[in-house]
């Protein structure tokens, strides 16, 4: 089993100084990964990560994940190899098929069926392999649907399990969060389609909260933003894409999920370097040391 890698997916930067301070804080607090998303209402991922490369020494840097429909493969290959070289080989390229319809409309990019976007994603991987060869950074493909995860299992070095899928009957961009049983099925599919390839499994945590009363916190969260979004037959704090409890309880939960699902690449959504997950990292490291990892 791999050593667990813990990261934050930074949403945006205010100024050069606050951004570089954030990057250094993330590194100092023991994170392994600093990641940037690819949305029209956030900063440009390669600009952010280029600045992060100059401000840090140890952190792995990655996109989590690029909307493949926004990128020309030749230009993407140039950006990826440039950042990888400038960071001293610390870059990891994360790709996805895109899922926010409003962004396509805003950018004037046709919104097409998922199967078509997924075919383009597969073609982009072919193009990156052809252009970069051995210079290609480690590739992560993220998603949650069976077809996307099958492609990731067959082609990527890291398979990102996002936990979110479009809610049936709801407007585009309204999602539900998968539960434990569904995640078992997704991971089994990935293992089958990987056919023995040495892949890393990544999980995106949609919510992280330090609390000494998980039942109270879970009830408040459901009332505020989660009604009908998460499975109602399992405790919220046991959901694979949420992390709640005391720091020790959260560390124990991550280890249990590692053992059950194989998640060793853990990403917190929207972290700024001082989020709750930072309190959990030393406890996970102590557990791994006791296990001889």
pLDDT, tens digit, for every residue of 67-104?
Answer: 999 999 999 999 999 999 999 999 999 999 998 999 99
Confidence of residue 13 (pLDDT cuts 50, 70, 90): confident
Mean pLDDT is lowest, of 108-117, 197-206, 219-228, for: 219-228
Confidence (pLDDT) at 221: 84
Give the list of residues 6+ apart from residue 30 with CB closer than 8 angstroms, or none. Answer: 6, 278, 281, 282, 285
pTM: 0.94
Q: Quick one: CA torsion of 35, 37, 41, 42, rounded to 10 degrees? A: 20
The pair of structure tokens assigned to 9 is 């997916």
To the nearest 10°, the Cα dihedral for 121, 123, 103, 158? 30
Mean pLDDT of 41-50: 94
For 19-29, write each residue's pLDDT tens digit.
999 999 999 99
Phi first, then psi: give them for residue 148, nearest 5 degrees. -65, -45
For β-strands 91-96 and 139-143, DSSP reports them as: parallel
pLDDT at 227 over 70: no
pLDDT in tens, 144-201: 999 999 999 999 999 999 987 766 666 666 677 889 999 999 999 999 999 999 999 9
């Amino acid at each position: 089993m791999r050593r667990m890698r813990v990261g934050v997916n930074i949403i945006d930067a205010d100024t050069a100084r606050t951004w570089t301070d954030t990057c250094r804080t993330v590194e100092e607090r023991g994170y392994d990964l600093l990641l940037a998303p690819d949305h029209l209402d956030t900063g440009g991922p390669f600009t952010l990560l280029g600045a992060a490369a100059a401000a840090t020494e140890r952190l792995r840097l990655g996109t989590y994940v690029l909307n493949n429909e926004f990128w020309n493969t030749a230009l993407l290959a140039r950006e990826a190899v440039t950042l990888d070289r400038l960071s001293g080989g610390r870059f990891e390229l994360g790709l996805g098929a895109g899922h926010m319809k409003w962004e396509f409309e805003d950018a004037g990019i046709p919104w097409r069926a998922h199967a078509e976007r997924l075919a383009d994603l597969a073609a982009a991987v072919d193009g990156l392999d052809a252009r970069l060869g051995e210079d290609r950074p480690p590739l992560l493909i993220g998603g949650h649907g069976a077809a996307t995860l099958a492609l990731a299992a067959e082609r990527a070095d890291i398979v990102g399990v996002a936990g979110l899928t479009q809610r049936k009957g709801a407007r585009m961009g309204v999602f539900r969060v998968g539960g434990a049983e569904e995640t078992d099925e997704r991971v089994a599919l990935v293992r089958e389609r990987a056919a023995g390839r040495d892949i890393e499994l990544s999980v995106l945590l949609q919510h992280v909260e330090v609390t000494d009363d998980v039942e109270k916190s879970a009830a408040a969260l459901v009332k505020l933003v989660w009604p009908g979004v998460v499975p109602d037959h399992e405790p919220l704090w046991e959901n694979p894409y949420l992390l709640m409890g005391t720091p020790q309880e959260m560390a124990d939960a991550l280890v249990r999920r590692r053992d059950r699902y194989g998640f060793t690449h853990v990403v917190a959504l929207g972290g700024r370097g001082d989020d709750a997950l930072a309190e959990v990292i030393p406890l996970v490291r102590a557990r791994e040391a006791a296990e001889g990892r």
